[in-house]
Amino acid sequence: MKKPIIVVKFGSASITTADGAVDEQIIAEIARQTAKLQEHYNIVLVSSGAVAAGKAYIPRYKGTLPERKAAAAIGNPLLVGIYATYFRPYKIALAQSLCERQHFANRDQFLQLKNTYETLWRNHIIPIANENDVVSNKELKFSDNDELATLIAVGFGAEKILFSTSVPGVLDAAGQVIREIPVIDKQALSLARKEKSAVGLGGMTSKLNFARLANQLGIEAVIFSMRTEDAILKAMEGKTGTRCRAQPKKVPSRHKWMATGSLISGKVMVDKGALEALKKRRSLLAVGVTEVVGGFMTGEVFQVVDQQGLVHAVAKSKIESAVIQNTTDKKNIEIAHADDIVLL
Protein backbone atom coordinates (compact mmCIF):
# COMPACT_ATOMS: atom_id res chain seq x y z
CA MET A 1 0.00 0.00 0.00
CA LYS A 2 1.10 3.55 -0.68
CA LYS A 3 2.09 5.58 2.34
CA PRO A 4 -0.19 8.49 3.26
CA ILE A 5 1.24 11.92 2.54
CA ILE A 6 1.86 14.71 5.03
CA VAL A 7 3.06 18.26 4.34
CA VAL A 8 4.90 20.17 7.06
CA LYS A 9 5.44 23.88 6.54
CA PHE A 10 7.98 25.90 8.53
CA GLY A 11 7.71 29.68 8.52
CA SER A 12 10.81 31.85 8.74
CA ALA A 13 9.99 32.93 12.29
CA SER A 14 9.65 29.33 13.46
CA ILE A 15 13.15 28.28 12.36
CA THR A 16 15.18 31.43 13.05
CA THR A 17 16.68 32.96 16.18
CA ALA A 18 15.80 36.38 17.58
CA ASP A 19 18.51 37.99 15.42
CA GLY A 20 17.18 36.35 12.24
CA ALA A 21 19.78 33.59 11.81
CA VAL A 22 18.73 30.01 11.06
CA ASP A 23 18.23 28.18 14.39
CA GLU A 24 20.20 24.96 13.95
CA GLN A 25 18.76 23.44 17.12
CA ILE A 26 15.30 23.67 15.56
CA ILE A 27 16.58 22.15 12.30
CA ALA A 28 18.10 19.28 14.32
CA GLU A 29 14.70 18.66 15.94
CA ILE A 30 12.96 18.74 12.57
CA ALA A 31 15.38 16.09 11.31
CA ARG A 32 15.00 13.86 14.39
CA GLN A 33 11.21 13.92 14.41
CA THR A 34 10.79 13.69 10.63
CA ALA A 35 13.05 10.64 10.59
CA LYS A 36 10.61 8.91 12.96
CA LEU A 37 7.68 9.69 10.67
CA GLN A 38 9.30 8.74 7.38
CA GLU A 39 8.77 5.01 7.91
CA HIS A 40 5.01 5.53 7.86
CA TYR A 41 4.52 8.60 5.65
CA ASN A 42 5.64 10.21 2.44
CA ILE A 43 6.72 13.66 3.59
CA VAL A 44 7.09 17.07 1.97
CA LEU A 45 8.82 19.78 3.95
CA VAL A 46 7.96 23.32 2.87
CA SER A 47 10.51 25.63 4.40
CA SER A 48 10.86 29.37 4.38
CA GLY A 49 14.06 30.92 5.62
CA ALA A 50 16.14 31.29 2.45
CA VAL A 51 16.04 35.09 2.59
CA ALA A 52 16.87 35.02 6.31
CA ALA A 53 19.83 32.71 5.59
CA GLY A 54 21.18 34.84 2.73
CA LYS A 55 20.60 38.46 3.68
CA ALA A 56 23.68 38.68 5.93
CA TYR A 57 25.83 38.40 2.79
CA ILE A 58 24.38 41.60 1.28
CA PRO A 59 25.98 44.72 2.81
CA ARG A 60 23.49 47.35 4.05
CA TYR A 61 20.54 45.05 3.33
CA LYS A 62 17.28 47.05 3.27
CA GLY A 63 14.83 44.39 2.13
CA THR A 64 14.02 45.77 -1.33
CA LEU A 65 12.57 43.30 -3.83
CA PRO A 66 15.86 42.87 -5.78
CA GLU A 67 17.72 42.42 -2.47
CA ARG A 68 15.19 39.80 -1.31
CA LYS A 69 15.63 37.89 -4.57
CA ALA A 70 19.41 38.05 -4.24
CA ALA A 71 19.23 36.96 -0.60
CA ALA A 72 17.01 34.02 -1.61
CA ALA A 73 19.50 33.00 -4.32
CA ILE A 74 22.29 33.00 -1.72
CA GLY A 75 20.21 31.48 1.05
CA ASN A 76 18.49 28.58 -0.71
CA PRO A 77 21.58 26.33 -0.98
CA LEU A 78 22.74 27.42 2.47
CA LEU A 79 19.38 26.51 4.02
CA VAL A 80 19.17 23.11 2.31
CA GLY A 81 22.78 22.47 3.30
CA ILE A 82 21.91 23.04 6.97
CA TYR A 83 18.94 20.69 6.68
CA ALA A 84 21.13 18.06 4.97
CA THR A 85 23.71 18.23 7.76
CA TYR A 86 21.14 17.28 10.40
CA PHE A 87 19.32 14.67 8.30
CA ARG A 88 22.58 12.90 7.41
CA PRO A 89 22.90 10.96 10.72
CA TYR A 90 19.52 9.37 9.95
CA LYS A 91 20.70 8.35 6.46
CA ILE A 92 17.98 10.48 4.85
CA ALA A 93 18.81 12.34 1.65
CA LEU A 94 17.03 15.56 0.74
CA ALA A 95 16.06 17.16 -2.57
CA GLN A 96 15.45 20.84 -3.21
CA SER A 97 12.23 21.76 -5.01
CA LEU A 98 11.90 25.40 -6.04
CA CYS A 99 8.30 25.96 -7.14
CA GLU A 100 6.51 28.66 -9.09
CA ARG A 101 2.80 29.41 -9.19
CA GLN A 102 2.42 28.30 -12.81
CA HIS A 103 3.67 24.81 -11.88
CA PHE A 104 0.25 24.29 -10.31
CA ALA A 105 -1.80 26.22 -12.85
CA ASN A 106 -0.35 24.21 -15.74
CA ARG A 107 -1.60 20.62 -15.48
CA ASP A 108 1.32 19.11 -17.41
CA GLN A 109 3.88 20.88 -15.23
CA PHE A 110 2.06 19.79 -12.08
CA LEU A 111 2.06 16.15 -13.20
CA GLN A 112 5.81 16.41 -13.80
CA LEU A 113 6.22 17.78 -10.28
CA LYS A 114 4.09 14.96 -8.87
CA ASN A 115 6.02 12.29 -10.77
CA THR A 116 9.30 13.73 -9.50
CA TYR A 117 8.12 13.69 -5.87
CA GLU A 118 6.87 10.12 -6.21
CA THR A 119 10.25 9.07 -7.59
CA LEU A 120 11.98 10.75 -4.65
CA TRP A 121 9.70 9.00 -2.15
CA ARG A 122 10.29 5.59 -3.74
CA ASN A 123 13.99 6.20 -3.09
CA HIS A 124 13.40 7.36 0.51
CA ILE A 125 14.30 10.97 -0.29
CA ILE A 126 12.42 13.91 1.23
CA PRO A 127 11.76 16.97 -0.96
CA ILE A 128 12.14 20.40 0.62
CA ALA A 129 9.95 22.87 -1.25
CA ASN A 130 10.20 26.64 -1.34
CA GLU A 131 9.06 29.35 -3.71
CA ASN A 132 11.50 30.18 -6.49
CA ASP A 133 11.84 33.79 -5.36
CA VAL A 134 14.67 34.49 -7.78
CA VAL A 135 12.39 34.37 -10.83
CA SER A 136 8.82 34.66 -9.43
CA ASN A 137 7.14 37.86 -10.54
CA LYS A 138 4.57 39.95 -8.72
CA GLU A 139 1.63 38.74 -10.79
CA LEU A 140 2.45 35.03 -10.69
CA LYS A 141 3.70 34.29 -7.20
CA PHE A 142 2.40 32.57 -4.09
CA SER A 143 0.96 34.86 -1.44
CA ASP A 144 3.37 33.06 0.93
CA ASN A 145 4.59 29.53 1.64
CA ASP A 146 1.32 28.74 3.44
CA GLU A 147 -0.25 28.78 -0.02
CA LEU A 148 2.52 26.67 -1.54
CA ALA A 149 2.14 24.07 1.22
CA THR A 150 -1.62 23.98 0.75
CA LEU A 151 -1.38 23.58 -3.02
CA ILE A 152 1.02 20.66 -2.57
CA ALA A 153 -1.21 19.07 0.08
CA VAL A 154 -4.37 19.36 -2.03
CA GLY A 155 -2.72 18.43 -5.32
CA PHE A 156 -1.08 15.32 -3.87
CA GLY A 157 -4.05 14.27 -1.73
CA ALA A 158 -2.25 14.66 1.60
CA GLU A 159 -3.76 13.33 4.80
CA LYS A 160 -2.58 16.27 6.93
CA ILE A 161 -0.87 19.61 6.64
CA LEU A 162 1.06 21.03 9.58
CA PHE A 163 1.80 24.76 9.81
CA SER A 164 4.68 25.57 12.15
CA THR A 165 4.65 29.16 13.35
CA SER A 166 6.14 31.40 16.05
CA VAL A 167 3.19 30.99 18.45
CA PRO A 168 1.92 27.73 20.02
CA GLY A 169 -1.35 27.75 18.07
CA VAL A 170 -4.43 29.88 17.51
CA LEU A 171 -4.95 31.95 20.65
CA ASP A 172 -8.21 33.08 22.23
CA ALA A 173 -8.80 36.55 23.67
CA ALA A 174 -7.07 35.50 26.92
CA GLY A 175 -3.98 34.30 25.06
CA GLN A 176 -4.73 30.59 25.58
CA VAL A 177 -4.30 28.02 22.82
CA ILE A 178 -7.54 26.85 21.23
CA ARG A 179 -7.03 23.10 20.95
CA GLU A 180 -9.53 22.43 18.19
CA ILE A 181 -11.53 24.37 15.62
CA PRO A 182 -14.26 22.15 14.12
CA VAL A 183 -15.08 24.62 11.33
CA ILE A 184 -13.06 27.69 10.35
CA ASP A 185 -15.80 30.32 10.00
CA LYS A 186 -15.83 34.11 10.35
CA GLN A 187 -15.62 33.85 14.14
CA ALA A 188 -12.54 31.63 13.91
CA LEU A 189 -10.90 33.92 11.36
CA SER A 190 -11.48 36.89 13.68
CA LEU A 191 -9.12 35.25 16.20
CA ALA A 192 -6.14 35.89 13.94
CA ARG A 193 -3.85 38.65 15.07
CA LYS A 194 -2.89 40.99 12.27
CA GLU A 195 0.85 41.32 12.87
CA LYS A 196 3.47 39.46 10.84
CA SER A 197 6.92 38.45 11.98
CA ALA A 198 9.96 40.52 11.06
CA VAL A 199 11.32 37.75 8.84
CA GLY A 200 8.15 36.21 7.36
CA LEU A 201 5.50 37.16 4.83
CA GLY A 202 2.50 35.39 6.34
CA GLY A 203 0.75 35.45 9.69
CA MET A 204 -2.08 33.73 11.50
CA THR A 205 -4.67 35.13 9.08
CA SER A 206 -2.83 33.42 6.22
CA LYS A 207 -2.57 30.13 8.10
CA LEU A 208 -6.24 30.08 9.04
CA ASN A 209 -7.34 30.95 5.52
CA PHE A 210 -5.28 28.18 3.97
CA ALA A 211 -6.16 25.74 6.76
CA ARG A 212 -9.80 26.52 5.94
CA LEU A 213 -9.20 25.78 2.26
CA ALA A 214 -7.45 22.50 3.12
CA ASN A 215 -10.27 21.52 5.51
CA GLN A 216 -12.93 22.17 2.89
CA LEU A 217 -11.06 19.88 0.51
CA GLY A 218 -10.79 17.05 3.04
CA ILE A 219 -7.39 17.66 4.65
CA GLU A 220 -6.83 18.12 8.39
CA ALA A 221 -4.59 21.03 9.40
CA VAL A 222 -2.66 21.69 12.61
CA ILE A 223 -1.13 25.05 13.55
CA PHE A 224 1.67 24.55 16.07
CA SER A 225 5.06 25.78 17.31
CA MET A 226 8.41 24.03 17.06
CA ARG A 227 9.28 25.48 20.47
CA THR A 228 7.35 22.58 22.06
CA GLU A 229 8.96 19.25 22.96
CA ASP A 230 8.36 16.65 20.21
CA ALA A 231 6.31 19.32 18.44
CA ILE A 232 5.88 17.61 15.07
CA LEU A 233 5.11 14.20 16.58
CA LYS A 234 2.58 15.68 18.99
CA ALA A 235 1.01 17.83 16.25
CA MET A 236 0.50 14.67 14.19
CA GLU A 237 -1.42 13.19 17.13
CA GLY A 238 -3.36 16.39 17.81
CA LYS A 239 -1.69 16.77 21.21
CA THR A 240 -0.23 20.21 20.64
CA GLY A 241 -1.19 23.33 18.72
CA THR A 242 -4.61 23.97 17.19
CA ARG A 243 -6.27 21.16 15.26
CA CYS A 244 -8.51 22.25 12.36
CA ARG A 245 -10.86 19.47 11.33
CA ALA A 246 -11.20 18.21 7.77
CA GLN A 247 -14.74 18.50 6.46
CA PRO A 248 -16.27 15.11 5.57
CA LYS A 249 -17.03 15.46 1.88
CA LYS A 250 -15.68 14.07 -1.37
CA VAL A 251 -14.37 16.62 -3.83
CA PRO A 252 -13.70 15.66 -7.48
CA SER A 253 -10.11 16.19 -8.61
CA ARG A 254 -11.28 18.76 -11.18
CA HIS A 255 -12.85 20.85 -8.41
CA LYS A 256 -9.73 20.52 -6.27
CA TRP A 257 -7.71 21.93 -9.16
CA MET A 258 -10.18 24.81 -9.62
CA ALA A 259 -9.98 25.66 -5.91
CA THR A 260 -6.19 25.60 -5.67
CA GLY A 261 -4.28 25.09 -8.90
CA SER A 262 -6.11 27.55 -11.12
CA LEU A 263 -4.96 31.15 -11.27
CA ILE A 264 -7.57 33.44 -9.72
CA SER A 265 -8.31 36.36 -12.03
CA GLY A 266 -10.72 38.42 -9.94
CA LYS A 267 -13.46 38.51 -7.31
CA VAL A 268 -17.22 38.73 -7.53
CA MET A 269 -19.03 40.05 -4.47
CA VAL A 270 -22.56 38.68 -4.07
CA ASP A 271 -25.58 39.23 -1.83
CA LYS A 272 -27.08 36.81 0.71
CA GLY A 273 -29.61 35.48 -1.75
CA ALA A 274 -26.91 34.47 -4.20
CA LEU A 275 -24.92 32.76 -1.44
CA GLU A 276 -27.95 30.75 -0.38
CA ALA A 277 -28.51 29.71 -4.00
CA LEU A 278 -24.89 28.55 -4.30
CA LYS A 279 -25.23 26.44 -1.15
CA LYS A 280 -28.18 24.70 -2.82
CA ARG A 281 -25.89 23.89 -5.77
CA ARG A 282 -27.44 26.42 -8.12
CA SER A 283 -25.70 28.53 -10.74
CA LEU A 284 -24.50 32.08 -10.11
CA LEU A 285 -26.69 34.68 -11.79
CA ALA A 286 -25.83 38.30 -12.50
CA VAL A 287 -28.77 39.54 -10.42
CA GLY A 288 -26.97 38.46 -7.22
CA VAL A 289 -23.75 40.35 -7.95
CA THR A 290 -23.10 43.57 -6.03
CA GLU A 291 -19.53 44.30 -7.16
CA VAL A 292 -16.77 42.96 -9.41
CA VAL A 293 -13.16 43.36 -8.26
CA GLY A 294 -10.46 42.83 -10.88
CA GLY A 295 -10.97 41.60 -14.41
CA PHE A 296 -11.36 38.17 -15.96
CA MET A 297 -12.17 36.70 -19.33
CA THR A 298 -14.59 33.92 -20.28
CA GLY A 299 -13.28 30.59 -18.96
CA GLU A 300 -11.08 32.09 -16.26
CA VAL A 301 -11.58 31.38 -12.56
CA PHE A 302 -12.75 33.96 -10.01
CA GLN A 303 -13.53 33.97 -6.29
CA VAL A 304 -17.06 34.45 -4.96
CA VAL A 305 -17.00 36.57 -1.78
CA ASP A 306 -19.61 37.94 0.61
CA GLN A 307 -20.04 41.57 1.65
CA GLN A 308 -17.25 41.22 4.24
CA GLY A 309 -14.82 39.75 1.70
CA LEU A 310 -14.89 36.15 2.98
CA VAL A 311 -14.36 33.67 0.13
CA HIS A 312 -17.23 31.18 -0.22
CA ALA A 313 -16.48 29.61 -3.59
CA VAL A 314 -14.43 29.69 -6.77
CA ALA A 315 -16.09 29.55 -10.16
CA LYS A 316 -15.25 29.30 -13.85
CA SER A 317 -16.76 32.25 -15.68
CA LYS A 318 -19.17 31.95 -18.60
CA ILE A 319 -18.86 35.65 -19.48
CA GLU A 320 -16.14 38.25 -19.07
CA SER A 321 -16.16 40.61 -16.09
CA ALA A 322 -16.70 43.74 -18.21
CA VAL A 323 -20.09 42.38 -19.31
CA ILE A 324 -21.27 41.54 -15.78
CA GLN A 325 -21.50 45.19 -14.75
CA ASN A 326 -24.08 45.78 -17.47
CA THR A 327 -26.16 42.65 -16.81
CA THR A 328 -26.96 42.79 -13.09
CA ASP A 329 -30.58 43.70 -13.83
CA LYS A 330 -31.13 40.62 -15.97
CA LYS A 331 -32.09 37.63 -13.82
CA ASN A 332 -31.48 35.02 -16.48
CA ILE A 333 -27.85 35.91 -17.19
CA GLU A 334 -25.71 33.03 -15.92
CA ILE A 335 -22.21 34.00 -14.80
CA ALA A 336 -21.10 30.52 -13.76
CA HIS A 337 -22.83 27.16 -14.09
CA ALA A 338 -23.36 25.08 -10.94
CA ASP A 339 -21.02 22.37 -12.25
CA ASP A 340 -18.23 24.96 -12.49
CA ILE A 341 -18.59 26.27 -8.93
CA VAL A 342 -16.60 24.88 -5.99
CA LEU A 343 -17.94 25.76 -2.54
CA LEU A 344 -15.30 26.45 0.12
Quick check: is 94 in a domain? yes
Give the structural domain span for 110: 5-253
Q: Are residues 88 and 222 in the same domain?
A: yes
C-beta of residue 207 within 8 angstroms of C-beta of residue 180: no
Distance (Å) of CA 72 to CA 11, 49, 53, 136: 14, 8, 8, 11
205 and 279 both lie in a single domain: no
Distance CA 77, CA 295 (A): 38
- CATH code of the domain covering residue 49: 3.40.1160.10
Residue 258 included in any domain: no
Is 155 found in the same domain as 213? yes
Q: Of 253, 273, 289, which residue constitutes the final position of a domain?
A: 253
Residues 71 and 50: their CA atoms lie apart, in Å, by 7
Residue ending a domain, choose from 223, 253, 283: 253
What are phi and psi for residue 231, nearest 5 degrees? -60, -45
Torsion angle, alpha carbons of 160, 89, 126, 13, to 10: 60
The confidence score (pLDDT) of residue 144 equals 79
Q: Which amino acid is at 118?
A: E
pLDDT at 117: 96
160 & 236 share domain: yes
Q: Read off the amino acid at residue 271.
A: D
Q: What is the pLDDT of residue 323?
A: 81
Which of 253, 286, 304 marks a domain boundary? 253
Residue 193 burial (CB < 10 Å; 0-12/13-18/19+)?
Answer: exposed
Q: What is the pLDDT of residue 262?
A: 66
> Is the same domain home to 159 and 85?
yes
Same domain membership, residue 217 and residue 85: yes
- Kindly report the backbone phi and psi dihedral angles of residue 230, in degrees, each rounded to the nearest multiple of 5, phi listed first: 50, 45
Q: What is the pLDDT along the chain (344 residues), one digit of tens a residue?
A: 589 999 999 988 899 888 878 899 999 999 999 999 999 999 999 998 888 888 889 999 998 888 988 998 999 999 999 999 999 999 999 999 998 877 787 778 888 999 999 999 999 999 999 988 777 665 445 667 898 999 999 889 899 999 999 889 999 888 899 999 998 888 888 887 654 444 444 478 888 988 988 998 889 999 999 999 999 999 999 999 999 999 877 777 777 767 776 667 788 898 898 999 988 888 988 888 888 888 788 888 888 888 888 888 888 888 888 887 766 556 678 888 888 888 87
Residues 300 and 231 in one domain: no
**pLDDT at 136 (0 to 100):** 66
Q: For residue 130, how far is the Cα from the chain centroid? A: 12
